[in-house]
Amino acid sequence: MPSRQSTAAAIAMSPKPKSPKPMSREPKSRKPESADAAETGPQLPARYYVHLIELASDSQRTRSRALRALGLGHGGADDPLATVSLAGIERTLALLRRRGLPAAFGLALGRAIEPEEHHLLGHALLQARTVGDALQLAARYFALLSPGFRLRLQPGSARARIEVIPWLPFSPQTLALHLDVVLAALWRMLGALSDAPLPPCDVRVAWARPTHASGYAALRPWRIRFESAAHPGFELDLPADWLQTARARAEPARLAEVEARCRSAIQGICRSSRLGDWVGMMVRAQGTAAGMGEIAELAGMSDRTLCRRLGKEGRSFRAESLQARMQRACRALEEGAAVGDVAQQCGYSDAANFARAFRRCFDYPPSRHRRRSGAA
């Protein structure tokens, strides 16, 4: 993937031609990755997507086509260590959506995943002395479940906070499905690990109330709260005494061996994704709300480290943020929003500042983009 040399190179369109140039929804950015590059990017465990295909397929033909879209043959579908690319996942979900994949399917899949299906980490969780110990293992080795997300555990004297955030650059539809899967799978895992009933708690989810909101009632006794936040993900607080209750089925003697295998398997997984792709996803998801300090904190690094690592990829936070603003602006203009309203939505102090930034990117004013899109 070609690198970005500067903000201007990342965002600015080609020099203005004499004749009107075709309108583009997005400012100029990186060239698309080749098919080979897309397939050799971050890899995720195939087993969950095979499970998804099994549940969602209404015929053997659909199952076979979905497995091919995923990049697996029938043999690969039976391999618990098989991995698939983000591109394969996007293809598979697009195919299944065309065949009527329900919006609430992520919740159904998450509830169907047993702890044993998590392979090495699942076995480690089952050996843990308490649910709290199991959560610490899950946070440490969560990339074995999915490199696409990070789980953070913040212990407290009365309650412990669990936070889940995305890490890989999923498309918006795919990210929404994955967040549902991870939330429901966490509910199922905690319920299966504990010898005591799940305690009631509020789960704060950072996305708009979806059309399938009633489906979250299946996650009783958790109460789902849809809230605005500066980044996509979810968090919940669980009682510390519940987390520290001893598990009768624990086998601590086996835990050290299984954890050593987890430690070996995790090597390299966390370094498989380009940081710039993830930063771009987070900024696009939240528009102007996500600042560099917050993004750096989510990534577990300082602002300076974030800038340095982005620079090694030929990218910058400023360029990612500007591109996200311009993409958002173009969509709003094409939907007929007034220039002043778009300026406010995109975080500019006034329409004049927004118009200057827009012209630098596209070589024409936002009012022309609005007219050329057919907006009244």
| 223: in domain | yes
Name the domain boundary from 101, 118, 149: 101
Which residues make Cβ contacts (< 8 Å) with residue 143, sequence separation at least 6?
150, 266, 269, 270
Distance CA 323, CA 269 (A): 28
Same domain, 169 and 304: no
Q: Is the pLDDT of residue 181 over 90?
A: yes
- The DSSP annotation for 136-161 comes to HHHHHTGGGT-TTEEEEEE--SSEEE
Same domain, 187 and 236: yes
Tell me: the pLDDT tens digits for 284-330? 765 555 688 878 876 778 899 999 999 999 999 999 889 888 988 99
Q: What whole-number percentage of the chain has pLDDT above 90?
A: 57
Q: Which of 5-14, 204-213, 317-326 has the least mean pLDDT?
A: 5-14
Q: Is the pLDDT of residue 355 over 70?
A: yes
| 319: in domain | yes
Same domain, 122 and 261: yes
The total domain count for the chain is 3
Name the domain boundary from 101, 118, 147: 101
Amino acid 236: pLDDT: 97
Which residues make Cβ contacts (< 8 Å) with residue 3, sequence separation at least 6?
30, 313, 314, 315
| 122: in domain | yes
Amino acid 31: pLDDT: 34
Same domain, 260 and 281: no
| 5: in domain | no
Same domain, 90 and 123: no
* CB burial of residue 350 (10 Å; 0-12, 13-18, 19+): exposed
Same domain, 304 and 260: no
Q: Which of 34-38, 230-234, 367-371 has the least mean pLDDT?
A: 34-38
| 17: in domain | no
| 94: in domain | yes
| 13: in domain | no
Same domain, 150 and 252: yes
Global confidence as pTM: 0.70
Same domain, 135 and 167: yes
- Distance between start and end Cα atoms, the chain: 38
Same domain, 152 and 281: no
Amino acid 4: pLDDT: 37
Same domain, 244 and 282: no
Same domain, 137 and 58: no
pLDDT average, residue stretch 46-58: 95
Q: Mean of the per-residue pLDDT values for the chain?
A: 84
Tell me: the pLDDT tens digits for 99-111? 999 999 999 999 9
CB 46 within 8 A of CB 84: yes
pLDDT average, residue stretch 174-201: 96
Name the domain boundary from 101, 132, 149: 101
Q: Is the pLDDT of residue 48 over 90?
A: yes
The amino acid sitting at 61 is R
Q: What whole-number percentage of the chain has pLDDT above 70?
A: 84
Tell me: the pLDDT tens digits for 257-289? 999 999 888 765 545 567 888 888 777 765 555
Distance CA 316, CA 4 (A): 8
- The DSSP annotation for 174-185 comes to HHHHHHHHHHHH
Same domain, 127 and 261: yes
Binned at pLDDT 50, 70 and 90, residue 2 comes out as very low
| 356: in domain | yes
- The DSSP annotation for 273-296 comes to S-HHHHHHHHHHHHGGG--HHHHH
Amino acid 286: pLDDT: 58
pLDDT average, residue stretch 143-168: 91
What range defines the domain where residue 149 resides? 103-266
Angle of the 119-127 helix axis to the 131-140 helix axis, nearest 10: 150
Coil, strand, or helix at residue 48? helix
